[in-house]
A and B are shown apart, each in its own frame.
Chain A
Amino acid sequence: MEGLMTIVKEGWRYKGAGNVMWMAHRISGLGIMFFLILHVFGMSMSFFNPALHEIMLETYKTPLFAVGELGLAACLVFHSINGTRIALLELRPEWWLQQKKATQYSLVATVVIGVPMILIMAMASINHFVK
Chain B
Amino acid sequence: MTTQPLGRTIRTVKPIPQARNNFERTMWLFMRYSGLALTLLALTHFGYQHIIVGTQNITTAQTVNNWGEAGKSINLGQFAWRAYYMAILGLAMLHGMNGVRQIAWDYIGNNKTAYTVFMGIVVLLSVIVTILGTLALIFGATAK
**Size class of the A contact interface (CB-based, 8 Å):** 35 or more
Flag if B32 contacts A50 (CB, 8 Å). no
A18 within 8 A of B: no
Q: Which chain A positions have C-beta within 8 A of B133?
A: 40-41, 43-44
Q: Which residues of A contact B70 (CB under 8 A)?
A: 47
* Partner among A51, A53, A84, A125 whose Cβ is within 8 Å of the Cβ of B63: A53
Contacting residue for B39 out of A30, A33, A81, CB 8 A: A81
CB-based contact A57/B32 at 8 Å:
no
B38 and A94 form a contact (CB under 8 A): no
Which residue of A89, A97, A117 contacts B47 across the interface (Cβ within 8 Å)? A117
Return A86 CB to nearest CB of chain B, in Å: 7
Restricting to A12-64, which residues have a CB under 8 Å from any CB of B? 26, 29-30, 32-33, 36-37, 40-41, 43-48, 50-51, 53-54, 57, 60-61
B interface: dominant SS: helix
Bound complex: CA A69 to CA B51 (Å): 11
A110 CB to nearest B CB, Å: 12
Q: Closest residue to A117 on the B side, CB-wise?
A: B51
User: What is the CA–CA distance of A45 and B38 in the complex, to the nearest angstrom?
Assistant: 23
With the chains together, A47 CA to B63 CA distance in Å? 10
Dominant SS at the A interface? helix
- In whole angstroms, what is the CA distance A66 to B8 when docked? 49
The distance in angstroms between the C-alpha atoms of A50 and B14, with both chains bound, is 47
Q: Is A120 an interface residue (CB 8 A)?
A: yes
Q: Contacts A30-B103, A57-B59, A88-B36 given; 20 further ones with Cβ under 8 A?
A: A29-B96, A30-B99, A33-B97, A44-B132, A44-B133, A44-B136, A45-B132, A46-B60, A48-B135, A50-B142, A50-B143, A57-B58, A61-B58, A66-B55, A72-B46, A76-B43, A80-B39, A83-B35, A87-B35, A89-B13
